[in-house]
Structure 1
Amino acid sequence: MATFDEEIKTVWNQHAKHYDKKHNQREDRDIWKQILVEHIGKDKNQRVLDMGTGTGFLAHLAAEAGYRSVGIDFAENMVAQAKEIANETNLDIDFIQGDWNELPFENDSIDVIVNRLIMWTVFTPEETLREWWRVLKPGGRILCFCPEDAKERMPSHYTEAIEKLLPLRNANSVQFAQTLKTTGYQQISITELPELCGDKLFRHWALIKGEKEIMSSTN
């Protein structure tokens, strides 16, 4: 989908300056942080990668909770905004501009991957999720926060030609979970999050969770 890369990047670079105020400031940060800690776990030495970090909402919360936080996004303006917010709040976060299909991380180097409102934007879900699998440690987890029970069709961000190429464009939590399962993730679960309201677009958030299996050694 390289032919669309610059068009898509332009869209998110244009959204970057106002994205945080328009979307993230409406969220209850305390509830989000509580949910992250519950599902990431008590070990604050874990390395948490926020995939498609945007202005860094989940990455900032993970850092505030005490985890080793990393965020990656391919839109340079989004990364710049995320860094600016982190500097203003004195958070130590490694924000990287990069491609989530070619991650600049070693195999088995990430404890937890988090993402929010990202799965619908992936052109090749199984291929992309396998790359994410590569960098996860055995036993590492993926936490996908996705909208549940859309009240109407989610708004379009791209041209019709691009939108038609997005397999998970209007997927529900069951479809997201099946994609994780097909790719090889284990211990798949869906957690409804009614405490996180979806405003006018959807009823609430859902968390789709998977795990990279720990392979047993054979003699």
Structure 2
Amino acid sequence: MTSNYTLRDEIREYWSARAPTFDDQVGHEIFSEAERQAWRALFLRHLGPGEGRRALDLASGTGVISHLLDGLGFDVTGLDWSEAMLARARAKAAARGTQIRFVMGDVERTLESRASYDVIVTRHLVWTLVDPEAAFKEWHSLLKPGGKLLIIDGDFVSDTILKRMIRMLERLKGRASPIAVASDAMRQTHERILRQVHFSKGARAREVVDLLRQAGFAENIVDRDLKRIHREQAKHMPLLKGLERATQHRYAIVSTKR
């Protein structure tokens, strides 16, 4: 490993390695029309209909959120820094005949034009940020006056008895399995990265809102009513995983640029 290899490089490589199986996981891809409608309801509640307004999907991955926004009538750009993720997103968009623009970029330094978006959406991004203060200032600058930022995130770090039980069962089930070994290696990389990001102790809504205020955002509303989404996701998960999802500190935050 060279001396100029950074945490951001490791994060990029980690998610690029996850790209081939990213859409296999509940919480990444959408596996039912009921869940799709639950996401649509959340977006409509906080953002309203697209009506041609410009939307930026940050850390767009394979384009799941980008396609939801496109279906609501937004003019969508998806930004990600993993070429492997972007390749899958572009292939999916081509197959579905959408006009979503996918670009490579760092969410903390996007190089997108200032005051050019009506809406910015992030899902499960904030908890991975190296420098959320810089990121939030960047996102604030990209929005038009009155523009909305919608963050869907949570504390996926804090340990619980339920999480410990799940880990124990996974270890027992995966013993001596080559797949489990690969998963363990990926988990170790994930844990090493997590120890170094800003929210290494968990991205709690209150701390996120405090940083958003410092970046200039106003009317920071925390919405914890994500039960409809989690209920539909749990139908496609093992029982204990579904219970874990239902008990985690998950939330949506909608913020406005004055």
Normalising by structure 2, what TM-score?
A: 0.75
State which of 103, 113, 121 in structure 2 corresponds to 1:106: 113
Counterparts of 1:110-189 in structure 2, within 5 Å, are 110-147=117-154, 152=159, 158=189, 160-169=191-200, 170-189=202-221
Report the counterpart of residue 245 of structure 2 in structure 1.
202
What code does the residue aligned with 1:108 have? A
Instruction: Work out the CA distance in 2 between the residues paired with 1:124 and 1:43.
Output: 30
**1:25 aligned residue (27, 30, 34):** 30
Aligned counterparts of 1:186 and 1:55: Cα–Cα separation in 2: 30
* Mapping 1:58-77, distance limit 5 Å: 58-77=65-84
* Partner residue, 2:85: 78
Q: CA separation in 1, counterparts of 2:31 and 2:155?
A: 18
Whether the 8 Å CA contact 2:145–2:257 is kept in 1: the answer is: yes
Which string of whole-angstrom CA distances, capped at 9 and with x for unpartnered residues, describes residues 34-63 of structure 1?
221222123512101000111111111000
**Alignment counterpart, residue 3 of structure 1, candidates 3, 6, 15:** 6
Q: Aligned-pair distance for 1:14? A: 1.1
Matched, 1:37 2:77: no
What one-letter code is carried by the residue in structure 2 that aligns with 1:181? Answer: R
User: What corresponds to 2:101 in structure 1?
Assistant: 94
Q: Which moved more, 1:64-73 or 1:144-153?
A: 144-153
> How many percent of aligned residue pairs carry the same amino acid?
27
Amino acid at match of 1:25: I
Task: Name the amino acid aligned to 2:217.
Answer: Y
More helix by share: 2
In structure 2, the partner of 1:49 is 56
Q: Secondary structure at the match of 1:196?
A: helix
Between Structure 1 and Structure 2, the one with more strand by share is 1
Partner amino acid, structure 2, of 1:139: G
Contact 2:60 2:79 in 1 (8 A): yes
How far, CA to CA, are the matches of 1:2 and 1:100 in structure 2?
19
Q: Is the 8 A contact 2:14 2:190 kept in 1?
A: no
1:129-155 superposed Cα distances (whole Å, 9 cap, x missing partner): 101111111111110001368784689
Alignment check: 8 A CA contact 1:109 1:136 kept: yes
- Higher RCO (CA 8 Å, separation ≥ 6 residues): 2
Structure-1 separation of matches of 2:15 and 2:156: 25
Whether the 8 Å CA contact 1:151–1:202 is kept in 2: the answer is: no
In structure 2, the residue matched to 1:216 is: none
What is the distance in 1 between the residues matched to 2:156 and 2:111? 35
| Distance in 1 separating the partners of 2:124 and 2:213 | 19
Secondary structure (helix, strand or coil) at the match of 2:228 reads strand
Q: CA deviation at 1:104?
A: 2.6
3-state SS, counterpart of residue 145 of structure 1: strand
- TM-score by structure 1 length? 0.87
